[in-house]
Amino acid sequence: MSRVAAIDCGTNSIRLLIADSSVEASEKDGPGPLTDIVREMRVVRLGQGVDATGELAPEALERTFAATRDYAALIKEHGAGRVRFAATSATRDASNRQVFVDGIRELLGVQPEVISGDEEAALSFAGASSVLPATGKDPILVVDLGGGSTEFVVGDSSGVIAARSVDIGCVRLTERHLRSDPPTAAQIAAAEADVDAALDLAAQTVPLDRATAVVGVAGSITTITAHALGLSEYQPNRIHGASLDLETISDACTSLLEMTRDERAALPYMHPGRVDVIGAGALVWRRILARLSAVSNGAIRTAVSSEHDILDGIALSILDGQ
């Protein structure tokens, strides 16, 4: 067995996966399935204010460093041999990212990587597709809806066909537009205009109309799925692989978007760190699915949620020697 540690540091959360994988898998087939040892998530809101200021806030850096310090202790405790730390949208956008890079390197003993949007998309696809049923050569679309950006990647059993990262995410759009509680119609319309423009941009690179199925990953989408399912608590085993019709998902998105923050906070599956931004995440997911329904002429009628995403992709990339 080979034990690795992967850290995904996004705009809203920082997550750790310590996992084992068989080293006996053939080179052709790649690493064997991952077995979770530790899977943790902390909401640190690293991207606080980045859309407006272009800088990582000192208090956001400190929250992220505190979580990384705890993760370093867990990595040492569980004896992970190789570690990869990947930072995404908020860090890409920040003019003072070197402060972040230096702090993480000192705490963790590895060089953190500020990965491109294209690599983020490819890692998300690898993580999601690693646990999904084989789809043959029919292209699937994986959507990774994050805090600062959303990745669109179309691929099949042979890998990625096309990918694009665009700057729409739950934290970015909340800070930019959805400031009222609940948001006003004018704020919602402005946010939707940003999403539509981003979808136009993504479609220049990614053939959205070729996708025969869609898989959504990351916390906004899995929380929306929990809401649509009416769960009594956050249950990853119920959420992972759940296939829901687009109308059900759209209704769940509208419900979350129109709720007050106090109403969202009372939901039994809602993480406290998502209360203020899940409305924007719901708006983005609703708009994406409406576009996919339109460009597929109604052929795409359902969407699948996956609990496995870029974090799993980072771990697999370590085993692949990338």
d(C-alpha 217, C-alpha 125), whole Å? 9
pLDDT of residue 293: 95
Q: For residue 102, give every residue at least 6 positions away whose Cβ sits within 8 Å of its Cβ, in sequence order, or none.
A: none
Do residues 138 and 213 touch, judged by C-beta distance below 8 A? Answer: yes
Give this prediction's pTM.
0.85
Q: What is the pLDDT along the chain (322 residues), one digit of tens a residue?
A: 689 999 999 888 999 999 998 654 434 444 557 889 999 999 999 999 988 899 999 999 999 999 999 999 999 999 998 999 999 877 887 899 899 999 999 999 999 998 887 888 888 888 887 666 554 447 899 999 999 899 999 998 778 899 999 999 999 999 999 999 999 999 999 999 999 999 999 999 999 999 999 999 999 999 999 999 999 999 999 999 899 999 999 999 999 999 999 999 999 999 999 999 999 999 999 999 999 999 999 889 999 999 988 899 999 999 876 4
Nearest to 220 by CA among 144, 294, 164: 144
pLDDT of residue 300: 92
pLDDT of residue 131: 64
d(C-alpha 136, C-alpha 212), whole Å? 11
Burial class (CB in 10 A: 0-12, 13-18, 19+), 16: buried
SS in 3 state form for the chain?
CEEEEEEEECCCEEEEEEEEECCCCCCCCCCCCCEEEEEEEEECCCCCCHHHHCCCCHHHHHHHHHHHHHHHHHHHHHCCCEEEEEECHHHHHCCCHHHHHHHHHHHHCCCCEECCHHHHHHHHHHHHHCCCCCCCCCCEEEEEECCCCEEEEEEECCEEEEEEEECCCHHHHHHHCCCCCCCCHHHHHHHHHHHHHHHHHHHCCCCHHHCCEEEEECHHHHHHHHHHHCCCCCCHHHHCCCEEEHHHHHHHHHHHHHCCHHHHHCCCCCCHHHCCCHHHHHHHHHHHHHHHHHHCCCCCCEEEEECCCHHHHHHHHHHCCC
Do residues 136 and 318 touch, judged by C-beta distance below 8 A? Answer: no
